[in-house]
Amino acid sequence: MTTTQSEEPPPPPQVVIRTAEINRYSKESGIELLFRILAIITIILFPITLLICFRVVKQYKRAVIMRYGRITKDSPAGPGIIWMIPCTDDIQLIDLRTQSFNLPPQEILTKDSVTVTVDAVVYFHIQKPLHCLLNIQNNKYATELITVATIRNVLGQHSLYNLLTCRESISFKCRTEIDKTTTKWGVVIERVEIKDVFLPFELQKAMAAEAEGTRIAKAKVIESEGEIKAAENLKEASQMMMENPHIMLLRYLQTLNSIASNNSATIFFPFPMELPTTNTVRILSIKYILHNDNFIEKCLVLISILLVLITFPISLFIIFVTVRQFERAVILRNGKLRKNKTYGPGLIQYLPCVDTIKYIDLRIICYAVPAQEALTKDALTVAVDAVVYYKIEDPIWAIVNIADYKVATQYLAATTLRNALGTRKLSEILVDRPAVSYQVFGNMKNLTTNWGVKVVRFEVKDISLPLQLQKTMATEAESSRLANAKIIVAKAEIESTKNLQKATKLLMDNPYCMQLRYLQALQMIAGENTHTVVLPITPEMFKGLFK
């Protein structure tokens, strides 16, 4: 029995030791399995990570990288493969190639009050990508607006004649004026080409009549000068005929033979006929309360900090925000300014439940002022549209002193433009557009200073007149050109008459001269397809021929 009891199974402690070994082995296997899974996931995601971290920049583009909103380098990256951090970097691609846009037909009033329609094409490229990104919103749209305004202003300072004859110089002046503004944005204007100038149909007829009158006048003067030279030669020939009268008879017979060889029967000799063009803004003062030991405020801050600590992993993505290079952030804590300063660019920290962030874009903003109907000083209604460029100079003032600086600036531009137009006559507005633009610019600059807004530029784009007034001005321009054509023809008649008078004096010195001139006229008329020849020649003119 004793032997049988000694052969019993081993005690339980050995079984406990084996169970602990099994549990330890299981834990080690689980950790190893977890690492294997992570390794497999890393290997699988590695190609995708490579695709995300590396970007390709084409030869004609440049990349501006902003890390936490700040520019990482003083010069843009590219072309080629560039490296980036997906969660922190923001890439802006800038195209450096020459771009073009076609301006739609614009109705423009010239210096001499003629309405013409002009279209143009503009070529430009971005020379400084950093300036273009940081200094201007939507560079292409801003360039189009400044181009339209500048072309209207430049063409409005020229007469129609200069516009038609000096297109190249006007295009060069437009390019120079536009380039002065866009250079600050990093944009270079290569060419500005005026494509076509369309005139009203009535004005085309008047200009054609004026051109025709000018050419007719020139032809008459040339013809009369030819009469003088012909008279001098005829005088020389008549002196020879005085020596021998039979020469005139032979010349007369030659003329008759020339007339007879043509199919002419009747020619009439008609005799000449005698032709007879402040709103006051109330500004709220700024009062900052920066240091106020308020118990409730401290409690709210402590509660926010506790909430942040409790939800720390999630809060990491909430309490940090990125302010881009061209922006500034104004933080209001419980409705009050956090400090008397702005934040950014870069990564900034705030308390989500207590702080409110206002982002302010510091780049130049362009706004097209819609057409404003205004009554000029001489009681004429005109519609004028414009474009205004402005930027935020003091972000704190732009938030504290004005409810909506964009809307306020737009309304101020419209009202200031109306006031400026009301102080000038229509003729002054049409002739001196830059003066109107400068007046509005100065008034707006003074009124927006306390808003933290700085007006950079103001340009009058178009001046539209009532249809009836346009017709009246077109009629006036047409009448002026028709009158000018008549004056040109009349002056040519005077010049031609003076030349004919000189020729007559030369011909009257010798009776044979006038006879030769008549014979030349008969020869010219004989070549025409007429049917009757009438010779208003008195017998006295040829009495010397039959002696």
Is pLDDT above 70 for 495?
Answer: yes
Cis preceding linkage at 276, omega within 30: no
pLDDT at 291: 47
Is pLDDT above 60 for 27?
Answer: no
Is pLDDT above 90 for 20?
Answer: no
- Percentage of the chain modeled with pLDDT above 70: 72
Alpha helices in 244-329 (DSSP H): 246-260, 295-310, 312-315
Cis preceding linkage at 79, omega within 30: yes
State how far the alpha carbon of 466 is from the alpha carbons of 373, 380, 383, 414, in Å: 10, 9, 8, 20
Cα–Cα distance for residue pair 44/38, rounded to 1 Å = 10
pLDDT at 195: 81
The DSSP-derived string for 43-83 is HHHHHHHHHHHEEEE-TTEEEEEEETTEES-SS-B-SEEEE
Tens-digit pLDDT profile for residues 59-76? 889 999 888 888 888 888
| R_g over Cα of the chain | 46
Top-ranked range on mean pLDDT: pick from 33-42, 183-192, 253-262, 527-536: 183-192
Please name the helix (run of DSSP H) or strand (run of DSSP E) that holds residue 431, with its range, or none. helix 426-431
pLDDT at 448: 92
Partners of 188 in the β-ladder: 125
Tens-digit pLDDT profile for residues 334-354? 888 888 889 988 888 888 778
> Is the entire prediction scored with pTM above 0.75?
no
**Residue pair 523/253 in contact by the 8 Å Cβ criterion:** no
The two structure tokens encoding residue 168? 């190249």
pLDDT at 467: 75
Choice between 220 and 184, residue whose per-residue pLDDT is larger: 184
Is pLDDT above 80 for 3?
Answer: no
Cα–Cα distance for residue pair 349/335, rounded to 1 Å = 17
Tens-digit pLDDT profile for residues 77-131? 888 888 888 778 888 899 999 998 888 888 887 877 778 888 889 999 999 999 8
Choice between 544 and 521, residue whose per-residue pLDDT is larger: 521
Name the amino acid, one letter, at 111: K
Average pLDDT over the chain, rounded to an integer: 77
pLDDT at 536: 55
**Residue pair 139/185 in contact by the 8 Å Cβ criterion:** yes
Residue length of the chain: 547
pLDDT at 247: 66
Q: List, in order, residues 6 or more apart from 58 with CB less than 8 Å away.
A: 78, 79
- Range from 151-155, 364-368, 400-404, 470-474 carrying the lowest mean pLDDT: 470-474
Is pLDDT above 60 for 8?
Answer: no
The two structure tokens encoding residue 187? 């944009």
The two structure tokens encoding residue 389? 């460029």
Crossing angle of helices 433-447 and 405-422, in 10° steps, is: 140
Using pLDDT thresholds of 50, 70 and 90, give the confidence band for residue 390: very high
Q: How many CA atoms lie within 13 A of 175 on its CB side?
A: 18
Reduced to 3 states, what is the DSSP secondary structure of residue 145? Answer: helix
Choice between 451 and 374, residue whose per-residue pLDDT is larger: 451
Crossing angle of helices 511-526 and 467-508, in 10° steps, is: 130
pLDDT at 532: 57
Which of the 8 DSSP states describes residue 543? G
Choice between 303 and 137, residue whose per-residue pLDDT is larger: 137
Tens-digit pLDDT profile for residues 412-452? 998 899 888 888 888 888 878 888 889 999 999 999 989 99
**Residue pair 93/126 in contact by the 8 Å Cβ criterion:** no
Mean pLDDT of 382-401: 90
Tens-digit pLDDT profile for residues 304-329? 777 766 766 666 677 888 898 889 99
Is pLDDT above 70 for 284?
Answer: no
